[in-house]
Chain A
Amino acid sequence: MPSCQVLRLLQYESSENDRRVLESESIWLCLSCDTCHSRCPQTINTPKVMYFLREESVRLGLAHPKSKDAQAFHKAFLGSIARHGRLHEIGMLMNYKFRTGHLLQDMTLGSKLYQKGKLELLPHGIEDKAAVKNLFKRTTGDKE
């Protein structure tokens, strides 16, 4: 379902339609490339809308099954940041693979990257990890 329909459904302000939107896969497909935003005659920030809808759908447990990889990715990503303050790609990828079970995906690529010196085995954390941890606590409340 294209974004125009997403927004149209929301304009009804009816719970059924909202549900249809929150359960849809569409809201997970937005690449936040902002093209729509820069085109829209009404300057509607569609990506922002999509972000919000994703939060909601997760909060209400309505997220589309196909979104679980994405969610897993985000969890892994955020986890990595929460722990090190910066992204540790290998750690994140591993974490992601375990979460999703796509254990074999990109294996060859991974090793290639490693040869090219593009992957760091050990995380380069920041000094003040506490700062970032607190940041997470204060905003999300969860430890991750």
Chain B
Amino acid sequence: MRIGYYPGCSLTSSAREYDESVRAVCEMLDLTLVEIPDWNCCGASSAHVAGAELALGLRARNLALAEAAGLDEILAPCAACFNRLASASVELADAPDKRQAVSEVIGMPYSGKVRVLNMLAVLERFKDQIAAKTEQSFRHKVACYYGCLLVRPTKVAQFDRVEDPQSMDQIMAATGAKPVRWSSKTECCGTGLSTITRTELVANLSGRIVADAAKREAVAIITACPMCQTNLDMRRPEINQKLQQKHRIPVLYVTQALGLAMGIDPQRLGLQRHMVPVELPEPEPEVVTTDDDDDED
């Protein structure tokens, strides 16, 4: 099976390990990634400030390129890129006039056929294979953290349920992991534009998430978004300072976690690149559950 691939800027540098683990895991799942030729930045949240037209143009060019390359589905692992591209594809899907206008801007045709998928939507299709390919069962309590951009707004994401989403929990469960029930699944880590400009806000928001995860005794936070990963991992010093705590809970990309379960070499998954060292305890022992019979008196 093949699918279009849009790494996005951060996966080529600050989130390189995400890219590495995505490629490693997809290989294991026999999913061929066809990188969109000459893709450009989706514009993230900045493009909007310079005008909606530009924002749409930047996103549309990538869709058009994908279409030209004969790809009808593309995977955008970065949640931000996914959200941007998906909203563009939705916006253009049934608006011929808009497509016309944007085609002129980007100087190439786009017929509005391309569908954008996030990492989880793609992995969901491979649950069985994941379970099958799992070598050392990943029996850890994990906190599946979705953030904002994967599930919201429903019209754009068109995936999972907007509150208390389940897909990542199920994907992780397939490896034997025990996803904790927690309430910060879709709380915002504070990215938006503030990662660099308003670090104090970020520490505050991300802090709540880390604290909640720790409280539920998760040994790792699992995410599918570079922004979230960066904030929860890279900003950990600020967070701990803010919380007056020494939280050491690592933040893994869902693909890294799967990779480990599938027995892929940690180096290949880029675990060494994390700021918070990834050290997982011994997997919990397996508990055999028996279903109880119905009442007799």
User: Within 8 Å by CB, do A and B touch in the complex?
Assistant: yes
Q: Is the CB of B58 within 8 A of A81?
A: yes
Q: Is the CB of B196 within 8 A of A139?
A: no
Q: Is B244 an interface residue (CB 8 A)?
A: no
Q: Is A94 an interface residue (CB 8 A)?
A: no
Q: Is B287 an interface residue (CB 8 A)?
A: no
Q: Is B207 an interface residue (CB 8 A)?
A: no
Q: Is the CB of B196 within 8 A of A93?
A: yes
When C-beta atoms are compared, the residue in chain A nearest to B152 turns out to be A34
Minimum distance in angstroms from B16 CB to a CB of chain A = 6
Tell me the B252-282 residues at the A interface (CB within 8 Å). Answer: 272-275
List residues of A whose CB falls within 8 A of some B CB. Answer: 28-35, 37-38, 45, 51-52, 54-55, 58, 69-74, 77-78, 80-81, 85-87, 89, 93, 96, 105-106, 109, 112-113, 116-120, 124, 126-128, 131-132, 134-136, 138-140
Instruction: Give Cα distance in the complex from A109 to B53, angstroms.
Output: 35
Q: Is the CB of A33 within 8 A of B153?
A: no
Minimum distance in angstroms from A120 CB to a CB of chain B = 5
Residue among A33, A71, A139 making CB contact with B49, cutoff 8 Å: A71
Residue among B54, B190, B273 making CB contact with A116, cutoff 8 Å: B273
Minimum distance in angstroms from A88 CB to a CB of chain B = 8
When C-beta atoms are compared, the residue in chain B nearest to A128 turns out to be B38
Q: Which of B6-14, B27-35, B127-135 contacts A (4 or more CB under 8 A)?
A: B6-14
Q: B162 to chain A: which residues have CB within 8 Å?
A: 38
Q: Is B285 an interface residue (CB 8 A)?
A: no
Minimum distance in angstroms from B205 CB to a CB of chain A = 8
Q: A119 to chain B: which residues have CB within 8 Å?
A: 13-14
Instruction: Give Cα distance in the complex from A55 to B45, angstroms.
Output: 12
Flag B43-77 by CB within 8 Å of A: 1 or 0 each. 11111111111100110010000000000000000
- 9 residue pairs of the A-B complex, CB under 8 angstroms, read A38-B153, A70-B198, A89-B9, A93-B196, A118-B15, A126-B39, A126-B40, A132-B58, A135-B107
Q: Is the CB of B234 within 8 A of A131?
A: no
Residue among B9, B50, B107 making CB contact with A134, cutoff 8 Å: B107
Q: Is the CB of A118 within 8 A of B13?
A: yes
Q: Is B188 an interface residue (CB 8 A)?
A: yes
Q: Is the CB of A77 within 8 A of B44?
A: yes
Q: B272 to chain A: which residues have CB within 8 Å?
A: 116
